[in-house]
Amino acid sequence: MASGRMEFHADTIMQHANFSFVLPNDVEMEEVFNPRHYDRPTKTLILLHGLTGTDTDWLFGGVAQEMAVQYNLAVFMPTAGNNFYLDRGYRGGNWGSYVGEELPAYIRKVFGHAMTREDTLIGGLSMGGYGALHTAFAFPETFSGCIALSSALRIHHFAAGHNDGIMPTAMLKNVFGDLETLETSDKNPEVQVQQLKAAGKPLPKLYLACGTEDGLIDANREFDAFLTKEDVEHTFEAGPGKHNWTFWNAHLPKGLECILE
């Protein structure tokens, strides 16, 4: 297994962008619980951090290295600030396009991974769970699977003028734009799903999970109900757990089992 950290100039955000990576390029089969994952080419997982996080979160707090080994995954973890992985609509502020287009293209060119939609997955926690869903829906030609853990799906909450104090209202407006039109914009994953269905475009395979002691559980249950109403195939798991690494590290492998089955 190889791991490291790189930076490159990303045009979409007009800056040198950092990402960490783990590659299962020299794994001993004795380490692997289920060798069937090595009967296929290596798949790529882009794994997103939460609010205030960085590209090293899934390495130091999470189980990125173990997932790379067990599931034959090249895991790439970008730093994206507190931007919710959204495009601002101008070069220099397009964080969604960075994660959904430019980073996968760079991975293909430099590492030779993420060559097809079928071999490219995305996942994340909290803000990164929202970002994984939004990015997978925004770039359906890029991602075939999405794992969203404890997703910050507070769109209806923010649009109604509520603020739990984690982010200042000015910051919310800077990230999401006009909060009064947020629910009907493409920053709302529900709108994205409806647009994809209307256009006849493929939806990724979806795995969602949230702890029942997590403050985001109601929003995640609402999104689960929406997907069920829209007849979108998905898996949603709610069980004991808080908004912490104990829950995320337990459910990332469950998500991979679901997506890769």
**Tell me: the pLDDT tens digits for 97-122?**
999 999 999 999 999 987 899 999 99
> What would the mean pLDDT of 72-88 be, rounded to a whole number?
97
> What would the mean pLDDT of 66-87 be, rounded to a whole number?
97
State whether residue 89 is helix, strand or coil: coil
Question: Which of 228, 243, 79, 230 shows the shortest CA–CA distance to 152?
Answer: 243
Q: Report how far residue 125's alpha carbon sits from residue 103's, in angstroms, rounded to the nearest whole number.
A: 19
Q: Place 218 in a pLDDT band, splitting at 50, 70 and 90.
A: very high
Q: Place 77 in a pLDDT band, splitting at 50, 70 and 90.
A: very high
Question: Which of 132, 152, 150, 151 shows the shortest CA–CA distance to 142?
Answer: 132
Quote the pTM value: 0.96
Which residues, in sequence order, are CB contacts of 61 under 8 Å at separation 6+? 245
pLDDT greater than 80 at residue 177:
yes
Q: Report how far residue 148's alpha carbon sits from residue 151's, in angstroms, rounded to the nearest whole number.
A: 6
- The arrangement of secondary structure in 2-260, i.e. its CATH architecture, is 3-Layer(aba) Sandwich (3.40)
pLDDT greater than 90 at residue 200:
yes
The domain ranges of the chain are 2-260
**Per-residue pLDDT at 24:** 94
Percentage of residues in the chain having pLDDT higher than 70: 100
State whether residue 41 is helix, strand or coil: coil
User: In Å, what is the CA distance from 1 to each residue of 31, 49, 66, 75?
Assistant: 11, 22, 10, 11
